Amino acid sequence: MGEHFQIMSAALIIVLIVVILLALAALFLLMRRRREQEAQRARVEARARRSEADRRLESADRERTRADEEQGQAERDRAEAQQARAEADRLAEVAERRSQSAQERAQSADRRRAVATDEQIQAERHAERAEEVDPDGADQDARPDSPRANEDRPGSRRV
């Protein structure tokens, strides 16, 4: 029995070693599978993050492009506004010069009108003095608009 017990003990030890080895192999395979699954999950997450990063990058590029376009438009609008301001300033200067010119012409016309009025007043005074000196109207012959002015001229008719 001793020998049989030894053989059985050796067989039991071998079986136990085989079972332990199988359990270790199964554990090793299970851990390997778990690592592969985790690696697969990590790859999927990395792809998702990369995809999200790409999407955000594209969005940022679109926003940057849009901002560049808006900045360009703002600069064009600013330049156009400056041109419009310059044109308005030029037109205001032209209007100011025209206004000054019109004011000068009006003042000149007022001076001429005043001179003409003074001359008319002097002519009327002169005519009154002439009437006082010659009440018969001898001076009317000298005035072309008088009815008697053409009486003594050759070719004039008396009515």
Instruction: Give the 3-state secondary structure of residue 16.
Output: helix
Instruction: Give the separation between CA 154 and CA 43, rounded to whole angstroms.
Output: 131
Instruction: Give the separation between CA 43 and CA 76, rounded to whole angstroms.
Output: 48
Asked whether residue 158 carries a pLDDT value surpassing 50, the answer given is no
Residue 105 CB burial class (10 angstroms; 0-12, 13-18, ≥19): exposed
- Per-residue pLDDT band for 9 (boundaries 50, 70, 90) equals confident
Q: Which residue has the higher pLDDT, 149 or 81?
A: 81
- Per-residue pLDDT band for 136 (boundaries 50, 70, 90) equals confident
Asked whether residue 19 carries a pLDDT value surpassing 80, the answer given is yes
Could you tell me the pTM of the whole model? 0.43
Per-residue model confidence (pLDDT) at position 159: 45
